Amino acid sequence: MDFVLIPSRPQLNINLVSALAALVVCAASLWRSLSRRRSLPLPPGPRPLPILGNVLDWPTMSPWIKFAEWSKVHGDIVHIQLMGDHVVVINSAEAAAQILNRAIYSDRPRFVMAGEIMGYVRSMALAPWGNHWKSMRRLTQHGFSKSSVQKFLPNHEDGARRFVRSLLEKPSKYLETLRFVLGKNILETTYGLEVDSVDHKLIKVSEAIQSDIAFAIVPGKFLVDTFPLLKRLPWWLPFLKYDKYAKRAMELTAEMVDGSFDDVKSRMSDGTIRPCLVSNVLEDDNLRNKTPDFENVLKWAAGTLYGAGVETSVACFSTFALAMAMYPDVQRRAQEELDRVVGSSRMPTFEDRERLPYIDAILKEALRWQPPVPLGVPHRVMEDDTYNGYRIPKGSVVIANLWQMGRDARTYSDPLEFKPERFLPDMNGGRAAELDPATYVFGFGRRACPGNHYATTSLFIQFASVLWAFDIKAEDEQGRPVKVSPEFTPGFVSHACPFPYKFVRRVEIQDGMTS
Ligand code: HEM
């Protein structure tokens, strides 16, 4: 027996000693790496003041322009300090992909007013990283994947015909009409109902929610976003009045998020539902009740889509219309392509898309020239990180300057010009096509826009149909040409500034073509 026991003891000790040694080596290397990380500098940026940091430098209008100026002085990654909080602005597409495509950047910063007080923290765009957000993403990605959006193509074609018809009847207020057409499509595909006019209750409620969030989300609008402790004071205090905003948001949410969902369920039970995103998920055994709190998750996933999808697409269309008025040669070339492929006896359809590469290139160029959300939606990093010898501390808010990425002269030739041919390899002087802006204008990583395929199919058919039917011109009341310049609104979603436009019919349009 001794013979068996004696050799086993040293064996045990050797194992123990090697394990302890390995542990010590690991701990030491972890400690060294952490200390090295902590000793790395923050990315460069404008010099902060004591306590206030860069609060006084923070631009309130079109901040992307100031951020781009800082990048010329400090480089692609700029650090800003706001009352002790770290903000990192990334100005190159390559750096943004390397940093933001990693899972540790999937959180959002706190939105105290819009998120916590008004309650929109449950929506997909503002929700922090966690189970509620992950489950919403899973359901939405299922409904809006590249293959799933094929189901919506007839709705988009129908929307484009409707838009052309209303431009013929009432060319003024074209953006309002487009907003209605796009909103109607999102509501119909999400909830399977028929939305027949701008006065539909859900259009009104969705618009109200969207404009309230856009108002409340702007940094500096509410003091509580800078000093979250204010949230603990009674909300009715006259100088706060948070209860007023919270009550209105609660009423709107009850109509939009809860009401529309309950309505789908009751139409499913009486057999009058038209298949839609919500009913498809409710009927899918692989999705239904697969997450805790399933109904709440689905309600909020669905309730986010109008707000996230309509304004962004309208902004892109407004940029397209401005570019067409400023660049008549581009417009003419697109119309030659349409005349060759589609002809004048019918409107374009998705079946023509493969043979309309120039229209697709115009869409890419409109997204690059003025990204609809120039700074994307901020991310928050959940762990300490390093990039290119710089330290990005845990909790930093990270902003991607998509606007600057589109005008980076290292990536694009003549970046200020509207040149769709940059995206056609064979028309780009033999060079490869330039970087597709879809790789950054829809954001990054796990947070990237789940509506990108939906948006690009819908915008493609709108652009093709409008160019097929009309010449877009900048003209005054007397029909004299007006010189317009590329000016854009300064908000979170950026539109082309209004200009005197005219849609001049260029083909004979029979009644049957647009119905
Ligand atoms: C041209 C049109 C559009 C543009 C330029 C756009 C752009 C963006 C951007 C930049 C983000 C933030 C991504 C990030 O955090 O990195 C985003 C988020 C989002 N978008 Fe879009 N979007 C468009 C259309 C749509 C449409 C049509 C829908 C749905 C029908 C949609 C739904 C969403 C949602 C739900 C989020 C939040 C994702 C999350 O936080 O997990 N978007 N979009």
Per-residue pLDDT reduced to its tens digit, 442-492 = 999 999 999 999 999 999 999 999 999 999 999 988 889 999 999 999 988
Q: Is the CB of 137 under 6 A from ligand 1?
A: yes
Considering only CA atoms, which of 213, 147, 205 is closest in space to residue 454? Answer: 147
Pocket test for ligand 1, best of 297, 298, 312, 456 (most atoms within 8 A of CB): 312
Structure tokens at 513: 């073509």
Name the closest-CA residue to atom 18, ligand 1: 449
CA of 304 to the centre of ligand 1 (A): 10
CA of 427 to the centre of ligand 1 (A): 31
Task: Report DSSP letters for 65-113, one per residue.
Answer: HHHHHHHHHH-SEEEEEETTEEEEEE--HHHHHHHHTSGGG-B----II
Considering only CA atoms, which of 382, 384, 385, 376 is closest in space to residue 99? Answer: 385
Which pLDDT band, with edges at 50, 70 and 90, does 514 fall under? confident
**Average pLDDT value for residue range 281-303:** 88
Q: How far apart are CA 326 and CA 11, in angstroms?
A: 82
pLDDT over threshold 60, residue 25: no
Q: Is the CB of 124 under 6 A from ligand 1?
A: yes
Atom of ligand 1 nearest to the CA of 315: 1
Long-range (24+ apart) CB contacts under 8 A made by 341-345 are 342/464, 342/468, 344/507, 344/508
Q: What are the helix (H) ranges across 349-451?
A: 357-369, 402-406
Q: How far apart are CA 377 and CA 405, in angstroms?
A: 15
CA of 47 to the centre of ligand 1 (A): 33
Ranges 74-83, 94-103, 214-223, 320-329: which has the least confidence: 214-223
67 φ/ψ angles, rounded to the nearest 5 degrees: -60, -40
3-class DSSP state of 397: strand
Q: Answer whether 372's CB lies under 8 Å from 485's CB.
A: no
pLDDT over threshold 80, residue 5: no
Query: What's 379's DSSP letter?
Result: E
Name the closest-CA residue to atom 25, ligand 1: 309
Q: Is 46 left (phi over 0), alpha (psi -120 to 50) or beta?
A: beta
Q: What is the CATH number of domain 43-505?
A: 1.10.630.10
Pocket test for ligand 1, best of 446, 449, 492 (most atoms within 8 A of CB): 449
Q: What are the helix (H) ranges across 401-476?
A: 402-406, 452-469
Name the closest-CA residue to atom 7, ligand 1: 442
Q: How far apart are CA 356 and CA 341, in angstroms?
A: 7
Higher pLDDT, residue 337 or 14: 337
Rg, the chain, Cα only: 27
Query: What's 448's DSSP letter?
Result: S
Name the closest-CA residue to atom 11, ligand 1: 449
CA of 314 to the centre of ligand 1 (A): 13
Neighbours of 130 (CB within 10 A): 10
Ranges 168-172, 304-308, 328-332, 502-506: which has the least confidence: 168-172
Higher pLDDT, residue 99 or 194: 99
Q: How far apart are CA 66 and CA 102, in angstroms?
A: 27
CA of 308 to the centre of ligand 1 (A): 6
CA of 301 to the centre of ligand 1 (A): 12
pLDDT number for residue 32: 60
Which pLDDT band, with edges at 50, 70 and 90, does 223 fall under? confident
pLDDT over threshold 90, residue 153: yes
**CA angle at 77 for the pair 75 and 82, rounded to the nearest 5°:** 120
To the question of whether residue 449 is assigned a binding role by annotation, the answer is yes
Q: What are the helix (H) ranges across 353-451?
A: 357-369, 402-406
Atom of ligand 1 nearest to the CA of 137: 41
Is 507 exposed, middle or buried, given 0-12, 13-18 or 19+ CB atoms closer than 10 A? middle
CA of 465 to the centre of ligand 1 (A): 24
CA of 156 to the centre of ligand 1 (A): 18
Q: Is the CB of 455 under 6 A from ligand 1?
A: yes
Pocket test for ligand 1, best of 142, 442, 458 (most atoms within 8 A of CB): 442
pLDDT over threshold 90, residue 30: no
Q: Answer whether 459's CB lies under 8 Å from 316's CB.
A: yes
pLDDT tens digit sequence for 310-322: 999 999 999 999 9
Question: Which residues does residue 390 pair with via DSSP β-bridges, in sequence order?
Answer: 387
CA of 295 to the centre of ligand 1 (A): 22
pLDDT over threshold 90, residue 296: yes
pLDDT over threshold 70, residue 6: no
pLDDT tens digit sequence for 37-64: 668 999 999 999 998 899 899 888 899 9
Name the closest-CA residue to atom 27, ligand 1: 309
**Average pLDDT value for residue range 244-248:** 92
Q: Is the CB of 397 under 6 A from ligand 1?
A: no
Q: Is the CB of 438 under 6 A from ligand 1?
A: no
pLDDT over threshold 50, residue 145: yes
First vs last C-alpha separation in the chain = 95
- In sequence order, which residues have a C-beta less than 8 Å from that of residue 134 and are 6 or more positions away? none
pLDDT over threshold 90, residue 236: no
Name the closest-CA residue to atom 14, ligand 1: 443
Q: How far apart are CA 5 and CA 17, in angstroms?
A: 19
- In sequence order, which residues have a C-beta less than 8 Å from that of residue 11 and are 6 or more positions away? none
Neighbours of 131 (CB within 10 A): 12
**Average pLDDT value for residue range 411-419:** 96
Q: Answer whether 493's CB lies under 8 Å from 441's CB.
A: no
Q: Is 271 left (phi over 0), alpha (psi -120 to 50) or beta?
A: left
Which pLDDT band, with edges at 50, 70 and 90, does 512 fall under? confident
pLDDT number for residue 217: 87
Q: What is the chain's mean pLDDT, rounded?
A: 90
Give the percent of the chain with pLDDT over 70: 91
Q: Answer whether 194's CB lies under 8 Å from 162's CB.
A: no
